[in-house]
């Protein structure tokens, strides 16, 4: 198998892993977003529900591309960077389980702080391997910063 074919297969596998994580999180989110979440007091600056799906889809695809860019470089710094990426992805899924699945804004808040730190660590690790990959992760960090503020407001209001 040629290098190009291996890289395409790797990209597909990474996209499937990341989108699989999104799907797991979505299972927990979907069960509560139209019921429990609607009963919560939320700040006036909460985006409409329809915004979250498209934003997260773009962010998950961007995360996958960034991870693939790091993987394909094959430098000694790539495996540790991919490990940190996996940790942040686990925190990402855990947030949906905690906030929506367990219906716990406080547990979600604790997790989202850890998620934010893990994303920042991922960006730092990606910088050692691929500056473009690190930059691709920046909107994700920005969105999670906003999500953390929203999570905090929901926790405080309820």
Summarised one tens digit per residue, pLDDT across range 15-72 is: 999 999 999 999 999 989 999 999 999 999 999 999 999 999 999 999 999 999 999 9
64 burial class (0-12, 13-18, 19+ CB within 10 angstroms)?
buried
For the chain, which residues make up each domain, given as ranges?
Answer: 3-157
The predicted model gives 125-140 an average pLDDT of 98
The pLDDT, as a whole number, for residue 113 is 98
| Residue 134: other Cβ atoms inside 10 A | 20
H-state helical runs in 97-130: 105-129
The pLDDT, as a whole number, for residue 36 is 97
Summarised one tens digit per residue, pLDDT across range 137-155 is: 999 999 999 999 999 999 9
**Which tokens is 91 given?**
């925190």
Confidence of residue 85 (pLDDT cuts 50, 70, 90): very high
Residue 3 has pLDDT above 90, yes or no: no
136 burial class (0-12, 13-18, 19+ CB within 10 angstroms)?
buried
Confidence of residue 1 (pLDDT cuts 50, 70, 90): confident
Summarised one tens digit per residue, pLDDT across range 95-106 is: 999 999 999 999
Q: Give dist(CA 82, CA 75) in Å, integer.
A: 11
Q: Give dist(CA 8, CA 131) in Å, integer.
A: 21
- Structural fold of domain 3-157: Ferritin (1.20.1260)
């Amino acid at each position: 198998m040629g290098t190009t074919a291996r890289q395409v297969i790797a990209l597909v596998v990474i996209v499937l892993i990341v989108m699989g994580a999104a799907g797991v999180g979505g299972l927990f989110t979907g069960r509560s977003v139209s019921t429990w979440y609607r009963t919560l007091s939320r700040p006036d600056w909460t985006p409409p529900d329809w915004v979250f799906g498209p934003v997260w889809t773009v962010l998950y695809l961007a995360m996958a591309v960034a991870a693939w860019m790091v993987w394909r470089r094959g430098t000694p710094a790539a495996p540790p960077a991919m490990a940190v990426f996996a940790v942040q992805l686990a925190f990402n899924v855990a947030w949906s389980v905690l906030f929506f699945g367990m219906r716990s804004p406080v547990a979600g808040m604790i997790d989202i702080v850890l998620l934010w730190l893990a994303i920042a660590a991922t960006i730092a690790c990606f910088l050692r391997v691929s500056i473009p990959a690190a930059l691709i992760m920046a909107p994700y960090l920005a969105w999670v910063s906003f999500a953390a503020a929203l999570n905090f407001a929901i926790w405080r209001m309820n």
